[in-house]
């Protein structure tokens, strides 16, 4: 014998199902926006927020005639976010290798590894950086980098001195006058969209770098 649901029973069943669905959705909303709000906010910030450091240019060293003994010029560090580049690591490495003059296999490994930050090449010129930018790859970024040069090479290097890999003076005038020559770094805390492009309107904080002072030693 078949039992048929009355119109009232069917209505109650439908309303009960709808009520249950809204209850589950409400709990999920409460869980995401209340119970896990801080955790998820930190995760979103980690994914989209980026601190971009800006180096202050190190001052030049000149003789009393104005001839350069040491100078700094701007270059770039090309970096990548492997979480964004991994799916296309092989193709990207093949195109980037000849432009960056880097080993293709090494680039492929770096672009495809775990993590969210990796350096691909340092001391990249403005011209080379422009070529890489023109490829418009998602997940490729650029950091300012200053390179120290000595026009006279080893001549009087014991007097002028030199800097280490962190751009700090370790000998001669570079060391003695480091406090004057060294610039002050700055930084920008910015937001990026899902393609890794900066959203300028959402910049949270920006402190500009300060260049160092030029130094002219006495005879």
Q: What CATH number has the domain bearing residue 75?
A: 3.90.1310.10
Confidence of residue 218 (pLDDT cuts 50, 70, 90): confident
Strand, helix or coil for residue 52: strand
Domain identity same for 28 and 55: no
Domain identity same for 79 and 182: yes
- Is residue 138 domain-resident? yes
Task: Answer yes or no: are the C-beta atoms of 173 and 61 closer than 8 Å.
Answer: yes
User: Which pLDDT belongs to residue 217?
Assistant: 82
Q: What separation in angstroms does the CA of 56 have from each of 65, 76, 183?
A: 25, 13, 4
Strand, helix or coil for residue 59: coil
- Is residue 214 domain-resident? no
Domain identity same for 115 and 28: no
Task: Answer yes or no: are the C-beta atoms of 107 and 179 closer than 8 Å.
Answer: no
Average pLDDT estimate for 138-157: 86
Domain identity same for 89 and 64: yes
Domain identity same for 152 and 70: yes
Is the per-residue pLDDT at 203 higher than 70? Answer: no
Count of CB atoms situated within 10 Å of the CB of 175: 15
User: Which pLDDT belongs to residue 206?
Assistant: 67
Domain identity same for 90 and 28: no
Average pLDDT estimate for 134-163: 88
Q: Number of structural domains, the chain?
A: 2
Segments forming the whole domain that contains residue 77: 50-207
CA 37 vs. chain centroid, Å, equals 26
- Is residue 171 domain-resident? yes
Dihedral through CA 193, CA 93, CA 167, CA 114, nearest 10? 60
- Is residue 1 domain-resident? no
The residue ranking higher by pLDDT, 165 or 169, is: 169
- Is residue 213 domain-resident? no
Average pLDDT estimate for 67-75: 89
User: Which pLDDT belongs to residue 9?
Assistant: 62
User: Which pLDDT belongs to residue 215?
Assistant: 92
Domain identity same for 143 and 108: yes
- Is residue 197 domain-resident? yes
Domain identity same for 29 and 123: no
Domain identity same for 203 and 133: yes
Tell me what percent of the residues of the chain surpass a pLDDT of 70. 70
* Closest of 165, 169, 191 to residue 178, by C-alpha: 169
Please state whether beta strands 140-149 and 118-124 pair in parallel, antiparallel, or not at all (unpaired). Answer: unpaired
Task: Answer yes or no: are the C-beta atoms of 78 and 140 closer than 8 Å.
Answer: yes
- Is residue 65 domain-resident? yes
- Is residue 195 domain-resident? yes
- CA pair distance 156, 143, nearest whole angstrom: 32
Is the per-residue pLDDT at 50 higher than 70? Answer: no
Domain identity same for 194 and 152: yes
Average pLDDT estimate for 118-144: 92
């Amino acid at each position: 014998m078949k039992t048929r649901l009355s119109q009232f029973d069917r209505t109650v069943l439908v309303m009960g199902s709808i009520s249950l669905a809204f209850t589950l959705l409400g709990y999920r909303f409460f869980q995401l926006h209340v119970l896990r709000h801080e955790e998820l906010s930190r995760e979103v910030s980690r994914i989209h927020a980026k601190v971009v450091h800006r180096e202050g240019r190190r001052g030049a060293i000149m003789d009393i005639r104005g001839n350069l003994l040491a100078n700094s010029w701007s270059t770039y560090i090309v970096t990548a976010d492997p979480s964004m580049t991994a799916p296309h690591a092989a193709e990207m490495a093949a195109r980037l290798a000849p432009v960056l003059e880097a080993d293709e296999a090494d680039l492929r490994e770096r672009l495809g590894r775990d993590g969210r930050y990796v350096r691909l090449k340092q001391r990249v010129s403005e011209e080379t950086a422009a070529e890489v930018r023109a490829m418009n790859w998602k997940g490729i970024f650029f950091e300012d980098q200053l390179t120290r040069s000595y026009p006279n090479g080893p001549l009087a290097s014991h007097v002028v001195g030199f800097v280490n890999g962190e751009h700090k003076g370790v000998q001669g005038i570079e060391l003695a006058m480091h406090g004057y020559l060294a610039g002050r770094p700055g930084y920008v805390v910015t937001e990026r969209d899902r393609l890794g492009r900066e959203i300028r309107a959402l910049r949270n904080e920006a402190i500009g770098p300060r260049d160092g002072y030029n130094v002219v030693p006495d005879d």
